[in-house]
Structure 1
Amino acid sequence: MSAPVRMRGVHPGPGPVARWVIVGVIGLLFLVPIAAMVEFTLRRGLDGGYDLSRWAAVFGGGLTGDYKPILTGLTNSLVLAVVTVIVMLVLLVPTMVLVRIRFPSLQRALEFVCLLPITIPAIVLVVGLAPVYSVVARIFGSGVWPLAFAYGVIVLPYAYRAIQANLQAVDVVTLSEAARSLGAGWLTILLRVVVPNIRRGLLAAAFISVAVVLGEYTIAALLNRVNLQTALVVVSKADPFVSIIFALLALAFAFVLLLVIGVVGGRRPAQKASS
């Protein structure tokens, strides 16, 4: 076989040493503040030294005592995360697939609408959402789960990019035409043809949405709803160490989500053995 031809004017990219240096610098940018947070939670106070007493208090029943608001906020945030992911997937995925297959001329307009929320500060969104939620509260009650509609707006840019990157790598038009020639309906094409081929993008969009919801504070605070971040702010006024512990746990949870994306998204569906 002939050697690969190198294109003129195209840089081959950084070498192995440069890659490790870049990874090391980026790793330090993340590890230094995380290490400082861990060190802060292990301090014993004015006596000096370090111990695990605060971590033991959290995992040894602290959530049912003085830190019960955190348990309430965590429960509310998990409910919001689930509802937000459902709303996002039900509304966004069929719309993106339909535009890709039937209305490709609307691709730019859809991208503009989906990316618009990232350019609007959360405080500005709340000003517009406040009168809307006064009506929503009369219809659905003052529970926390209707806040998922607002969260569906703020996760839209991240979810769109994750799904769009996977959708562009799949020839959806050809797959849908082949399925229609075999008599498949729209719902069958969406669920049995398109969704399995963009599984990695859907997982990435779902997990990124969960991470955004668990870290959101502004909308929940200004709309007087209790979630994980607002509960941490309340508890941190009495014990700042506990809020840092739960911030570290949230970072660990986000890291696990990234691992799940890589493992589950990279796994290929098993093929049946030919008879």
Structure 2
Amino acid sequence: MRSDLVRRVVVAVCAVLAVVGAFVGSGAAGGTPIQEAAGGALSADATLLAPAGPAFSIWSAIYLGLIGYAVWQLLPAQSREGDSARRQRTLGYPVAATLVLNAAWILSVQAGLLAVSAVVIVVLLVALLVAFVLVVRTRRRGQGVIESVLVDGTVGLYLGWVCVATAANITALLTACGFDGWGLAPDAWGVTIVVVAGVAGLGLAVFGAGRLAPTASLAWGLVWVAVSRTTGELVSGAVATAAVVTATALVVATVIIRVVAVARERSALGLASSAANPPTR
């Protein structure tokens, strides 16, 4: 179908656009690295919610997954009628939208438009939530490992990290605008936002029946927030402790949810098998 070909090409082009944007955003193409752009508002020591520099290495895994997905969905097998092809018709454009928004976010930060970058990353978060919902709802029992990694894993990893990045970006904007916390101490605000991020991660774990990828990247970001608050110039024991405790609790809760979900699925399969093959006497 021509519409399928157009969609697959659009996804591939958007993936290239995102990678080029990331290349520029890293400073490798002569641009200013994200941590130094916008007057350093997103640097590791700019706010209490800013993760340490090494945290951003997770983008390598995310971009690798996105490139892998873009190539995989171009393969002839994904154009044939079947469950996988139908799934890609549902996911293609939502994923492409996140790629365009990601590039737009990088460009807005490079241009020093911190307020615009905050709006863009919130829209990106919403787009990723939509993509995640679709990923969960279209997942098939027995789907291949490659599809699980490139589709489910990549979208989950992407979403979890953007949850952390959104909190950091909005905090950076509020700080740059001179937000005084309405009388609440900065540490209290930092702890509150960390806990909110953890609750959001728990919500994703419950909805996704214990999907590990969103939790992994969200916990990764929180741990690096803790590192930044203990080794950087902006020290906060309260925020660091909250970040570590929240990350740990989120991982444990997700694993428990996963174990329970798998046990229920196996039990349901066993009951279905028994009903289909009743014992004979």
TM over 0.5: no
Relative to the length of structure 1, the TM-score reads 0.27
- Choose between structure 1 and 2 for higher RCO, CA contacts under 8 A separated by at least 6 residues: 1
Relative to the length of structure 2, the TM-score reads 0.27
Larger Rg over CA atoms: 1
